Amino acid sequence: MSKVVKKSSKVMPNSQTVQRVSGSQAVDKLSKIQLSAEQTQLKTNVFDFIKSQLSNYSGKPSMYVIEGDAGTGKSVILNALFNDLQKQAMHASANDVLKGTRNYLVVNHPEMLKLYHQISRSFPYIKKSSLERPTSVINNLRKTESQCDAIIVDEAHLLATSKDAFKRFYGDNHLKDLMELSKVLIVVFDAKQSLRMGSYWDDEPGNGSTLSAFYESLPAENKKWYRLKQQFRVVAEKDTLDWIQAISTEGKIPSFPESVKSGQSKFDFKIWDDCGAMYHALKDKNDQYGQCRVLATYDFPYRLDGKDYFVECGDNFKVRWDRYAPRAILPWSERDDTFEEVGSVYTIQGFDLNWAGVILGRSVGYDAKTDSIKLKPEFYDDHAGFTKKKNIRDVDKVKTKIIMNSINVLLTRGVKGLYIYAWDPELRERLSRI
């Protein structure tokens, strides 16, 4: 079903909901999920790489890159790898190269770091101090004039590519500093998830930084690169995965998936012409399955000033943006009260939902001549993300790529279903054609 016509009452949630205090599903997914054969082999290969490089360390760093699209299980592998690494650092025999090693897992994402801190409570050999933001690790190692053994970097596409005095990072590039301060780096990366000019990574040189440039600077014996391809998050048929990939990376609008049109798809994929109706449908799914949320591109005003800001679509949808809650224990996607909020790309990056309802906002229009998405950066409201940096040469190109990356992140969150509403009426009509 591609188009839904359904009248709904105006959506302005204001009820008080009691937050669950049960365990986190996100924690379970990272710490208890069974690895696939490919993931298990990769974990073994990376572990052996760390041991080999530490045994033969000659003063130059080593790097193992794990590249993969959203949902390919990158963080799951990292968690299992770090568990094994820290256990060996504590319990290995005295002549083992890993015995007593000083290792870190870093991620430049506060919600993901919070998740790793929760996971560490179940593993006595992982200390909370070994899980940090990259700036903290860099500044601490600089202060003590020391070098660590291995650093595992999750979401490396979020590493800073320029100075950020506000966040107390005074170097030129997080990765550059991490390479200088560690013997071995394990880097998990997806260029399609860079969302800010201050942490912009791309495959092409000239804007921000390129991971390949750092990688190529190393001797052949000091580096390896592996690309994960199997999709584990979005449980959809290939034609639906191809549809999501085309529209969120190339801006193309392909034919509507045949598996969905025929009613044979196990993935619940719908285009909506009524945002309020989409919200109510998600409410039903959330009541039944949990972890169903509305997300939106950053096209509606939002400020960190303690006030509420709203996402409005049509005459019957007005829901506030997610509230900043740094002390919350559970991730935003799992707190019951957050169904009455709209999540941003920053809120949901790195996390799963059962159903995702995505609002393509004012910056995402339609070009009838090319039958593709037409981006309008002037309507994208993430001013911090668009703050110009010295290493950004083609500002307009980078703005466009950031918006496309944000669309990619949002459309790849739903495990069981994806609902889409387009704010632009022409795009909404075009997406509804089957």
**pLDDT tens, residue order, the chain (434 aa):** 344 434 344 555 443 332 333 456 666 656 566 788 888 999 999 999 999 999 999 999 999 999 988 777 788 888 889 989 999 999 999 999 999 999 999 999 988 898 888 888 877 778 899 999 999 999 999 999 999 999 999 999 999 999 988 888 999 999 999 999 999 999 999 999 999 999 999 988 889 999 999 999 999 999 999 998 876 677 889 999 999 999 999 999 999 999 999 999 999 999 999 999 999 999 999 999 999 999 999 999 998 888 999 999 988 999 999 998 888 888 899 899 999 999 999 999 989 999 999 999 999 999 999 999 999 999 999 999 999 999 999 999 999 999 999 999 999 999 999 999 999 999 999 999 87
Q: Pseudo-torsion of CA 255, 258, 259, 260, nearest 10°?
A: 70
Instruction: Please give the pLDDT value at position 21.
Output: 31
* Spans of all domains in the chain: 3-22+232-431, 37-228
Length, in residues, of the chain: 434
Tokens linked to 193: 């998830």
290 phi/psi in degrees, rounded to 5: 75, 170
Distance (Å, rounded) from C-alpha 369 to C-alpha 376? 16
- What's CA 227's distance to the chain center, in Å? 17
Q: What are the start-end ranges of the H helices in 256-310?
A: 258-261, 275-289
Distance (Å, rounded) from C-alpha 419 to C-alpha 269? 6
Tokens linked to 135: 């700036």
Distance (Å, rounded) from C-alpha 260 to C-alpha 156? 35
Burial (CB < 10 A; 0-12, 13-18, 19+), residue 345, is buried
Asked whether the beta carbons of 352 and 26 are under 8 A apart, the reply is yes
Instruction: Please give the pLDDT value at position 4.
Output: 42
Instruction: Please give the pLDDT value at position 23.
Output: 55
Q: Indicate the helix (H) or strand (E) that contains 104.
A: strand 103-107
Instruction: Please give the pLDDT value at position 30.
Output: 60
Q: Indicate the helix (H) or strand (E) that contains 67.
A: strand 62-68
Distance (Å, rounded) from C-alpha 153 to C-alpha 175? 9
Asked whether the beta carbons of 341 and 309 are under 8 A apart, the reply is no
Tokens linked to 234: 């979005």
- Reported CATH class of domain 37-228: alpha beta
Distance (Å, rounded) from C-alpha 99 to C-alpha 92? 5
Distance (Å, rounded) from C-alpha 194 to C-alpha 404? 10
Q: Which amino acid is at 147?
A: Q
Asked whether the beta carbons of 343 and 349 are under 8 A apart, the reply is no
Cβ neighbours for 387, distance < 8 A, ≥ 6 positions apart: 196, 197, 198
Write out the DSSP string of 311-353: EEETTTEEEEEPPP-TT-SS-GGG-GGGGGEEE-HHHHTT--E
Burial (CB < 10 A; 0-12, 13-18, 19+), residue 238, is exposed
| Three-state helix/strand/coil letters over 112-141 | HHHHHHHHHCCCCCCCHHHEECHHHHHHHH
Asked whether the beta carbons of 75 and 291 are under 8 A apart, the reply is no
Instruction: Look at residue 226 and give its three-state secondary structure.
Output: strand
Tokens linked to 211: 């991971």
